[in-house]
A = this chain, B = another copy of it.
Amino acid sequence: MATIKDVAKEAGVHISTVSRTLGGAYYVEPSTRERVMQAVEKLGYKPNPIAKGLKEGRTRIIGYVVPRVNDSVFSQISQSISQACVERDYMVILCCTGEDTKIEADYYNRMKGKWVDGFIIGTANDDNRALLESLKAENIPVVLVTRSIENAFNAVLSDNVEGARQAAKHLIANGCKRILFLNGNLKLELCRERLKGYQQGLMDEGIPFDQSLVCNDIAMQWAGAISPVKGTVTPEQAVAHIVSQNIEFDAVLGITDAVAAGAMTTLKNHGITIPDQVKIMGMGDLEIASFTDPPLTTMHQSADTIGRRSVELLLEQIESRDFTAKTLEKLPFTLVVRETV
């Protein structure tokens, strides 16, 4: 690897001249510049970003923290984050925490300061809030994705209340009156919000809320992707339980597509026809939604936009060196009608 020294020698100038030539913001004699550029070309010189970062106190690296990338939503978001960063000449350092707060704490400790210029974080829940607060206290730029914590942090996510509300209303508009809501862990603001939206949808249409139609703590991801999280129930188990209790319902709203798909499987196994006897909706619109039978009607979440906006927001802060802004961007869901409603 050629260094700045090699280039300087090759061009017969001092290293600082090379640095200035490449830095752009200085005037160098055109003929000198020419020679330098030729040397750069010849040696295939690329400035060493580590040395640069050490000097400048900036690295053009961002830290990206998620529970797991093999989650349909995060894999989509990761993709768009990666692309957005490539375009802007930033690097992404990935950390999958598996929702383990210790691993996460460790990562922040190692990365903050000199390693990364800021973080994009997809792990926000009630457990790691203190961690996030301490990042903020140290003035480290942070953008949350997919999840938020009150209005305390920059975040870009889907409008969960509104999305769930529209889902409920779509179901009701199609004649449903008793909608089973398969929810995740209420530690996640996301789950609390979707629950709220579900309730609002009911209320909008004058349908009474029935607590026995809400199941919490459903595993939100495909079971194969993760070792089962304790305190969690598969959608299949939940639906089987509900059915065995003879609780009446004419629709299922899954907090994610995976949940809806799981529910669908169990329903079909019980000989319940979809959408005739029970209608189903998911939220997310990810891969499986198009492969279930019948294909799943769901609320489409713009994962790409979430990813792209999060890096825009973060880099804006980093580059302006202004960490005071607090933006909460809520992107709309859109209804995708397939065949389960």
Q: Contact residues of A with B, CB < 8 Å?
A: 1, 44, 46, 48-51, 53-54, 59, 61, 64, 68-72, 75-76, 78-79, 82-83, 86, 91-96, 98, 103, 107, 109-110, 112-115, 222, 224-225, 258, 261, 265, 268, 285-288, 290-293
Contacts and interface: CB of A to CB of B under 8 A. Distances in A.
Contacts of A291: 261, 265, 288, 291-292
Contacts of A59: 50
A242 to B, nearest CB: 20
Contact of A225 (B76, B98, B114): B76
B113 A46 contact: yes
Contacts of A76: 70, 225
A64 B82 CA distance: 12
Contact of A114 (B49, B109, B113): B49
A76 to B, nearest CB: 5
A224 B290 contact: yes
Contacts of A61: 93
Contact of A78 (B53, B70, B107, B288): B70
A94 B96 contact: no
A113 B48 contact: yes
B69 A114 contact: no
Contacts of A96: 78-79, 82-83, 86
Given A46-B110, A54-B54, A288-B287, A79 B86 contact: no
Contacts of A290: 222, 224
A281 to B, nearest CB: 15
27 contacts: A1-B112, A1-B113, A44-B109, A48-B114, A50-B50, A50-B54, A50-B59, A51-B114, A69-B79, A70-B78, A76-B225, A78-B78, A78-B94, A79-B96, A79-B225, A82-B94, A82-B95, A82-B96, A86-B95, A86-B96, A91-B93, A94-B94, A222-B287, A224-B287, A224-B290, A265-B293, A292-B293
Given A49-B115, A51-B54, A69-B75, 14 more contacts: A44-B109, A46-B113, A48-B54, A51-B114, A61-B93, A82-B96, A83-B96, A86-B95, A86-B96, A92-B93, A92-B94, A287-B287, A287-B288, A292-B292
A299 to B, nearest CB: 15
A151 to B, nearest CB: 28
A235 to B, nearest CB: 11
Contacts of A113: 1, 46, 48
